[in-house]
Chains A and B, each alone.
Chain A
Amino acid sequence: MAQILFYLLAGVIIIATVLAVTEKHAVHAVVYLVTSFFGLAVVFYLLAAPLIAVFEVIIYAGAVMVLFLFVVMMLDRGNPEEAKRPTLMHCLPALVLSGIILASLVLLLLSQPVPGINGTDRSFLGVEDFALTLFRKYGVAIEIISMQLLFAIVGVLYLGRRRKP
């Protein structure tokens, strides 16, 4: 059951991401990307990470993508019909480079077996395990994250300050 669900979701994620990459209008691209993130959140839930799934929906699909939508709608782009999609000649180097990256990753995956525990003795990771790991083992990570967000606030306030004309 979970297996079928995973492959369905993988198809949805890839199709939505391809549509987001090839879409001409930025608003449509952002909405396709939100679809992809919802699918990814369900995959995280299937991978026994319910907290990360919730954060994915709240922070990525909820906050970051809405920020993107605000900026896309706030910028007066003139008439967006003129916004041209990159031509195939422009895309060709990107396609070649990413094709090489993808091919090397797939070859690496196929060439050697993936290590890890293969069995059913894996204990389920609950929110409690996550919290214990986060606050006991990686307590300094919380401080780093909070400092990072503080620096982001300072930077955004500096960039968005009112300037004299």
Chain B
Amino acid sequence: MIVPLSHLLLLASILFALGVVCVLSWRSNVIMVLVGIEIMLNAAVLVFVAGSYQWGMADGQVFALMIIAMTSAEVSLALAMVVYLHQRRKTVDVDAFRELRDR
């Protein structure tokens, strides 16, 4: 073991908290909200890989791969939605998108 598992979990906790700060505080730019979600998902991947190393089983790596694939799908959809919203409203401010009606 190169480092104890608790240090890895500490690093993942710090990354997750930074992602929460990014999501909650950047309300003026929806792209930064997506960046915060990326940071939080990376913390989750780090926890899975650390657990896989600690217990010597490859299951955690499989779930890390699933998270990575899920993230790529999520990011492509979310960015397409950002482009669509920017075409409609000419802004990326989160507070500007408060209507649900369709034209």
Contacts and interface: CB of A to CB of B under 8 A. Distances in A.
B68 A49 contact: no
Interface string B77-88: 101111110100
A71 B28 CA distance: 16
Which 6 A-B residue pairs are closest in the complex by CB-CB distance? A94-B24, A152-B73, A102-B17, A133-B58, A98-B20, A105-B13
A74 B16 CA distance: 29
Interface in A41-75: 43-44, 46-49, 51-52, 55-56, 59-60, 63-64, 67-68, 71-72, 74-75
Nearest to B5: A114
Contacts, number: 222
Contact of B73 (A13, A55, A148): A148
A2 B8 CA distance: 14
Contacts of A3: 2-3
Contact of B38 (A49, A64, A149): A64
A111 to B, nearest CB: 11
Contacts of B38: 33, 60, 64
Contacts of B24: 93-94, 97-98
A26 B61 contact: no
A130 B29 contact: no
A129 B1 contact: no
27 contacts: A3-B3, A14-B11, A40-B46, A47-B49, A60-B68, A64-B72, A68-B31, A68-B35, A75-B82, A86-B25, A97-B20, A98-B18, A101-B13, A102-B14, A102-B16, A105-B16, A106-B10, A109-B6, A116-B54, A117-B56, A122-B53, A132-B58, A145-B69, A149-B72, A159-B81, A159-B84, A160-B80
Interface in B45-76: 45-46, 49-50, 52-59, 61-62, 64-66, 68-76
A71 B58 contact: no
B103 to A, nearest CB: 10
Nearest to A43: B46
A37 B16 contact: no
Interface in A1-33: 2-3, 6-7, 10, 13-14, 17-18, 20-21, 26, 29-30, 33
Given A63-B72, A74-B83, A159-B77, A90 B25 contact: yes
A29 B35 contact: yes
A13 B70 CA distance: 22
Contacts of A48: 53
